[in-house]
Amino acid sequence: MFADGVFFINLNLEKMMLPVLQQLDAYVRAGIKSAYGIDADAVVTVATNERFGDYQANAAMGLTGAVSAAQGSKANPRQIAEKIVSMLEPNEMIEQVSIAGPGFINFKLSSSWLSQAIESADNDAHLGVPVAAESQTVVVDYSSPNVAKQMHVGHLRSTIIGDAIARVLEFEGHHVIRQNHIGDWGTQFGMLISWLRRSSIGSEAHIADLEHFYREAKKCFDEDKDFQEESRATVVRLQAGDPEVLAAWRRIVAESRRHYQPLYERLNVSLRPEDECGESFYNPMLESVVTDLLAQGLATESEGAIVVNVPGYDTPLIIRKTGGGYLYATTDLAAIRYRSEQLHANRCIYCTDSRQAQHFAMVFDTARRAGWAKDTRLEHAPFGTMLGEDRKPFKTRSGETVKLTDLLDEAETRAYEMVSQKSGDMTEEHKRAISVAVGIGAVKYSDLCMDRLGDYVFSWDKMLSMDGNTAPYMQYAHARVCSILRKGGVSLADALRGRVVLSTPTERSLAIGLLRLGDVLALLSRELKPHVLCTYLFDLSQRYNSFYEQCPVLNSEPSQRESRLALCAATARTIALGLDLLGIAHPEQM
RNA sequence: GCGCCCGUAGCUCAGCUGGAUAGAGCGCCAGACUUCUAAUCUGGAUGUCGUGGGUUCGACUCCCGCCGGGCGUACCA
């Protein structure tokens, strides 16, 4: 009996942990099943208008066809809705169910259930968000800077979006393997190494110098036949593992790492040196990629090159050049095979520019047909191109690129001006720290908050904006919560233990906002779109700011004070978690 | 030529698997700091959802055509 009781409690807790949308969906689905014996989507959404309730199920209208066919006469969606509602089991979560219009089923959540759900989230280390039922191994490929080149604003999207995706999947309980597929291999190193040797430049070359040397080497390569020969010979020596050339190459890679690793730390991007797995890593596997595809009959020789014909495309995928060299398609195929067979990835996500969409579609198709991704779902999470002010693609070579370092410096400078102006008495050191959090946060958020598919125009003002739907808005809401706790001498841990009673519409609205987190994260991990989390955090912060204006916390009645403190604490944790998942800092004061 | 992406308020953008009167921010107008941070809040104005058809009880959402912009399209990544 005791065991049964425990089992029951556990079951209940688990049920309570499921996000609202998922719970309601299962609930209405069961109602449809008992009404009509059909397993149909309940089509539950957040209410389109608060007037109607908190959530709504739109399944009834869509069921008219199936029901009419089953009963042999024309069915009325309104009656279908009524029948479904009559079959719904009583549920502590729901206070009121009503039917409106053609057959909308509207739900008003019970205030006491909402209170309990907030309390339960407050006392849960995972904020009430369930861990994935099946933990997957997920490879996330992102950032991928080019060695010997400085990172510029064009690298921001992959780095930031990929990192947010990796963090969210990890939070959902998956085993995430970050892969920084750096561009550390290729013919350009022949040029660069030859040039360095010619100019007798030692190992002390800085990244900015390397970039400069690269341009000079390229120029020389285009003009000087002897240098071309020498560069080609150097590439061959590099690929053959010549110690001297290899050492020069290693110095270049190391210097590049010294450049981008601090940038990752500055950007609060979770990539570490161990996540680095560049093009050179796959070099030894390239030959077998080609021979295996040939052996399988998937690849053929064409005009001296080895190609794979992909159904639906009029041009083939080239995997070996006429001269015998390999291409990035070959490397990507090797990477897929490695990630699937060695890393045992269930899911392999590529966060790159959308211009590579066709390339990945062809590579994925080839890998699948070759049987190299048997238990691996291959997904491209493309993002739009960054355009210049003239609305033309932001090209690297034209020299008008904005270096990432410069962008971040400018962001911190602008934030510092803002902090100096708005934050009162604060030590210089503290102001600096806040400026970093606010400035870098603003830059990252401006990139994360838009649907990744669209192209966008680079603009300093847009990147560094700090009003409205920006990171500082969320950070400010968070700082306001912390300020209340500080003023009241209440620790977060104590506030979290409070009993919640929702006595005003504003508090209720905040509570409903808080409980949407799990559904939002589930959507994000499905669609790989961090902007849904941004939209959510902005909405939640707005709810909190309204609450802040309308509901005094510290000066209210003891029970109300306790409840409001608990709501504050839940908000602080939710915003902090959301910003953490986006890789954005959340200072306690600003 | 073929393929993919985009077109929503003056500007920048949301709009979840088709659902109720299409929403924010910025900007504009009018208010709110003797009370927990005004980087905030409250209220107001603004739309042929590029366009023409089709499917549907219902289309910003799905299908087809067209217009406009972008990208990709055999040895760069």
For chain A, 590 residues long, the average pLDDT of each consecutive 10-residue run is: 35 60 94 91 91 92 86 86 94 94 93 96 94 94 94 93 98 97 92 87 77 87 89 90 93 94 97 97 96 97 96 94 94 98 97 95 97 96 83 57 92 94 87 96 95 88 90 97 96 96 95 96 95 97 96 95 97 98 97
- Which nt is closest to the CA of A556, judged by C1'? B36
In the DSSP assignment, the letter for residue A323 is T
- The structure tokens listed for A555 are 């000066």
What's the rounded Cα separation, in Å, for the pair A586 and A590? 9
- Which nt is closest to the CA of A488, judged by C1'? B36
- Which nt is closest to the CA of A588, judged by C1'? B37
Angle CA A40–A45–A49, to nearest 5: 140
- Which nt is closest to the CA of A547, judged by C1'? B41
* C1’ B57 / CA A59, Å: 13
Residue corresponding to tokens 């869509």: A62
Last residue of a domain, one of A80, A109, A138: A109
What's the rounded Cα separation, in Å, for the pair A104 and A95? 17
* C1’ B67 / CA A454, Å: 20
Which residue has the closest alpha carbon to B17 C1'?
A43
Pairing outcome for strands A104-109 and A55-57? antiparallel
Which residue has the closest alpha carbon to B33 C1'?
A549
The per-residue pLDDT for A540 is: 97
| Contact present, A123 and A496 (Cβ < 8 Å) | yes
- Which nt is closest to the CA of A481, judged by C1'? B36
* C1’ B2 / CA A312, Å: 10
- Which nt is closest to the CA of A470, judged by C1'? B25
* C1’ B60 / CA A540, Å: 25
A463 inside domain:
no
Q: Looking at strand B, which nucleotides approach a protein CB closer than 7 A? A: 1-7, 12-17, 19-21, 23-27, 35-42, 57-58, 69-77
Q: What are the Cα distances from residue A93, in Å, to A349, A357, A405?
A: 37, 44, 50
The per-residue pLDDT for A15 is: 43
Which residue has the closest alpha carbon to B3 C1'?
A313
Beta strand segments in A166-296, E = 175-179
Last residue of a domain, one of A216, A244, A270: A270
The per-residue pLDDT for A577 is: 98
**Model-level ipTM above the cut of 0.90:** yes
- Which nt is closest to the CA of A387, judged by C1'? B70
Which range marks the domain in which residue A266 is found? 188-270
* C1’ B26 / CA A103, Å: 39
Last residue of a domain, one of A270, A296, A313: A270
A334 inside domain:
no
Backbone phi and psi for residue A248, each to the nearest 5 degrees, phi listed first: -65, -40
A22 inside domain:
yes
A581 inside domain:
no
| Contact present, A333 and A367 (Cβ < 8 Å) | yes
* C1’ B24 / CA A543, Å: 13
A64 inside domain:
yes
Angle between helices A20-36 and A77-87 (to 10 degrees): 100
* C1’ B9 / CA A389, Å: 23
Q: What is the CATH number of the domain that holds A92?
A: 3.30.1360.70
Residue corresponding to tokens 């309601």: A24
* C1’ B21 / CA A354, Å: 37
What's the rounded Cα separation, in Å, for the pair A431 and A481? 19
Number of domains comprising chain A: 2
* C1’ B51 / CA A47, Å: 32
- Which nt is closest to the CA of A434, judged by C1'? B39
Q: How far is CA A406 from the centre of its chain?
A: 24
A384 inside domain:
no
DSSP run (H or E) holding A513 = helix A505-514
What's the rounded Cα separation, in Å, for the pair A445 and A441? 6
Angle CA A96–A97–A99, to nearest 5: 140
- The structure tokens listed for A62 are 């869509």
A428 inside domain:
no
Which residue has the closest alpha carbon to B22 C1'?
A48
A193 inside domain:
yes
- The structure tokens listed for A103 are 């057959």
